[in-house]
Amino acid sequence: MSWVQQYQPLGSYGLSALVAGIPLYMLFYMLAVKRMAGHKAAFAATLAAVILAIAAWGMPVGLALDATLYGAAIGIFPIIWIVITAIWVYNMTVESGEFNIIKNSLAQITDDRRLQAIFIAFAFGSFIEGTAGFGTPVAITAAMLVGLGFNPLYASGICLIANTAPVAFGAIGIPIVVAAQVSGLDMMKISAICGRQLPFLSVIVPLWLSVTMCGFKRTTEILPAVLIAGVCFAGSQFLISNFVGPYLPDIISAVVTIIGLGAFLKVWKPKNIWHFPDEPPASQRVVESEYSGGEILRAWMPYIILAIMVFLWGIKPVQNVLNAIFAPTLDWPGLHNVVVKAAPIVAKDTPYAAQFKFNFLSTPGTAILIAGLLSVIFMPKYSYDKAIPCLFRTIKQLKWPIVTIALILGLAYIMNYSGMSSSMGLAFTATGALFPFFAPILGWLGVFLTGSDTSSNALFGSLQKTTAQQIGVDPHLTVAANSSGGVTGKMISPQSISVATAASNMVGKEGDIFRFTLPHSLAMLCFVAVLTLLQAYALKWMLP
């Protein structure tokens, strides 16, 4: 027995959208105002969404519970699996003592906290985003910054803000690929438009990170390095996205930035070294090289192996081979193709698939697991007898983030399958000629809901295309803006924040991180929204 979604159950799109947002208002309030623990806020919001789906949107009780459980299952795998393995690799480097060598080696490049944040959170994090995505870069870089001695709140917040620039081209370009698939538009043109929007953000993100940490005046002390990092990344991102495609902008931009910034810091040092106020003065932190080149290489080996493995796992032929070996797909009982999407979300009634893909071998989390197992070989006085218990301790350490992420994905999926997300999206289409301004906001909302730019594009890509065609705007622009605006929502997504709190040992402090990142998210979103509106009319010449 199928059930057809309805998008204005309360008589109008405006009122229906207003009511559909109640679970999100609750989440905002509990995180930003009450500073409630993430799992408690997520439970309350998810419960509210289930009740609304049944009572207002008319969704059968069984379907509503099924959709929520389906989302929770996807939260556990593959997302939580990535978080667990990433934190496990970090925990092993700490237990084995190798992270002390990593800290010392980074201090040889720079002991300045501002430059360490740009190097690790922005440059290295972008490489991991480009190869894996789905929370992996925040999990790894936040843990590394905390290990280096960063204030945990700043470590989490900085990594979330830094994860803005590369998200649209993350996981080997999957968000753009999905946007093209669901909209039926030219993938290269979507890639090119994103490559003419996001570099404006990318070039200032290193500056943004430093100003967030120490203010503009102190940031001027490292302006040459900030410019090198921003120009290396933004320039590469523009060229690759416009002339090569959506698959490699992040990876090549990150590599160019790491090499460019690393080489520059070999010949240039800031006059004043900056640390957090609660740290010892720079004069008391003179760092001497304590290790040989071989020891430094060995200490970095887990992350070198991790980067190689995640890169290989991102290559489509490798994924195909692994999936051919083992990747069972389960049609979710009682939900698969039972919910039907209707016009105007789709041209004609379309069954809503619900398939749980247990692609255990090809998921990035398994690539990280293998990297961790291989890394043990290079850790002196460390063995698998210690590594395996460390894995189980890591799972125990992450118990509340696991609950939070599962609940947040449950919330996202009940809103998607009930039609509540679509009700909110359709309300934006009533803005007429101003819709290009709201197109990035729709993407931002989608990423807040799902934690994924890919999922946001899948959710709203078709709607963006249809609305643009109705008002006479290039649909490639609004579909691309969905992705570009979506990246600014990543830093406030409860799923992303849960990953960050798990990595920085701030479980229960999700509200603090939300308050930290919210102003940055809104500021970046406004920039993308205004840029998109201008590109739709006054600056059409900027489009390919």
Q: Please count the structural domains in the chain.
A: 1
Residue bearing tokens 């894995």: 391
Separation CA 453–CA 274 (nearest Å): 34
pLDDT at 18: 92
The 10 Å Cβ neighbour count of residue 285 is 13
Domain residues for 360? Answer: 3-542
Separation CA 544–CA 444 (nearest Å): 24
Separation CA 77–CA 132 (nearest Å): 14
Closest of 454, 453, 478, 461 to residue 533, by C-alpha: 478
- Can you say how many angstroms the Cα of residue 179 is from the centroid of all Cα atoms in its chain? 16
Q: What is the dihedral sign for C-alpha 430, 436, 437, 442?
A: positive
Separation CA 199–CA 501 (nearest Å): 28
Closest of 507, 394, 492 to residue 39, by C-alpha: 507
* Rg value, the chain, Cα: 23
Which helix (H) or strand (E) segment holds residue 340: the answer is strand 339-341
Task: Give start and end residues of each alpha helix (H) in 60-204.
Answer: 61-74, 81-95, 98-109, 113-117, 125-131, 136-148, 152-162, 170-183, 187-194, 198-202
Separation CA 74–CA 82 (nearest Å): 12
CB contact at 8 A, 105 and 466: no
In order, the DSSP letters of 101-113 are HHHHHHHHH---H
Q: Which long-range contacts (C-beta less than 8 Å, at least 24 apart) are formed by 10-13?
A: 10/56, 13/423, 13/426, 13/427, 13/429, 13/430
Which tens digit of pLDDT belongs to each residue from 228-284?
Answer: 999 999 999 999 888 877 877 888 888 899 889 888 988 888 888 888 777 665 444
DSSP state, residue 355:
E
Which helix (H) or strand (E) segment holds residue 4: the answer is strand 3-4
Inter-axis angle of helices 13-20 and 420-428, nearest 10: 130
Which helix (H) or strand (E) segment holds residue 356: the answer is strand 355-357
Q: Which residues on adjacent β-strands are paired with residue 4?
A: 340
Separation CA 196–CA 484 (nearest Å): 10
Average pLDDT, the chain: 85
Closest of 133, 200, 142, 153 to residue 447, by C-alpha: 133
pLDDT at 184: 67
Q: Name 476's Cβ contacts closer than 8 Å, sequence gap at least 6.
A: 185, 186, 189, 190, 193, 543
pLDDT at 133: 62
Closest of 57, 63, 55 to residue 354, by C-alpha: 63
Separation CA 411–CA 399 (nearest Å): 19
Separation CA 128–CA 83 (nearest Å): 13
Separation CA 514–CA 508 (nearest Å): 12
DSSP, collapsed to helix, strand or coil, labels residue 350 as strand
pLDDT at 107: 66
Distance from the first to the final alpha carbon of the chain: 46
Separation CA 322–CA 361 (nearest Å): 6
Q: Which two tokens stand for residue 15?
A: 């009122």
CB contact at 8 A, 337 and 351: yes
- What is the dihedral angle through the alpha carbons of 46, 164, 502, 386, rounded to the nearest 10 degrees? 130
Separation CA 92–CA 394 (nearest Å): 10
CB contact at 8 A, 2 and 351: yes
Q: Which residues on adjacent β-strands are paired with residue 331?
A: 355
Which tens digit of pLDDT belongs to each residue from 385-407?
Answer: 999 999 999 888 878 778 877 88
Q: Which two tokens stand for residue 314?
A: 């991102």
Q: What percent of the chain lies above the pLDDT cut of 90?
A: 33
pTM score of the predicted model = 0.75
Q: What is the dihedral sign for C-alpha 284, 286, 290, 294?
A: positive
CA–CA distance from 306 to each of 55, 89, 366 (Å)?
Answer: 47, 9, 11
What stretches in the chain show pLDDT beneath 50? 282-286
pLDDT at 280: 61
Separation CA 270–CA 266 (nearest Å): 11
